Amino acid sequence: DQQVKQNSPSLSVQEGRISILNCDYTNSMFDYFLWYKKYPAEGPTFLISISSIKDKNEDGRFTVFLNKSAKHLSLHIVPSQPGDSAVYFCAAKTGTASKLTFGTGTRLQVTL
C-alpha cells in the first residue's frame, strides 16, 4: 500500500523555468511533509519541509505547497538550474514517530 505517491517518474524543464514536482498521500494522519533530493551514488539530502498547520513554506528558490483537503503537496523550484537535476523524493511522517514514508521519486532534468 503506497501511502505516498509520486505519479510522475520524470520531468524535464528548461533552465530558468519553473519546475513543479507533485506528491499525493493517502494517510490523513501524516502531519509533516518533506522533500529530499538525491544525486547518483549519494544518499538523499533534506531540501525543505512543511508542517500540516501551514499551506506554504519557502526557502530561497524552493517553495512547498500543501493542500490538505486534496492530500496533495508540490515542490516549486524557481528558477530551475542545471544543478537541480536529481531525483526528488517526497516523504511524510506522523506525530511523534520519526520514521519517514517515502514516495517513489521523480527524476528532474534541467536542460540548458
Partner 1 sequence: DSGVTQTPKHLITATGQRVTLRCSPRSGDLSVYWYQQSLDQGLQFLIQYYNGEERAKGNILERFSAQQFPDLHSELNLSSLELGDSALYFCASSVGSPISLSYNEQFFGPGTRLTVL
Binding partner 1 by CB under 8 A: which of 12, 26, 46, 111? 46
Give the Cα-Cα-Cα angle 66, 72, 73 (nearest 5 degrees): 45
Nearest distance from C-beta of residue 87 to partner 1, angstroms: 10
Per-residue contact track with partner 1, 51 to 90, x per CB under 8 A?
A: --------------------------------------x-
Contacts of 101 (CB under 8 A, 6+ apart): 3, 4, 27, 30, 91, 92, 93
The smaller minimum CB distance to partner 1, of residues 25 and 63, is found at: 25
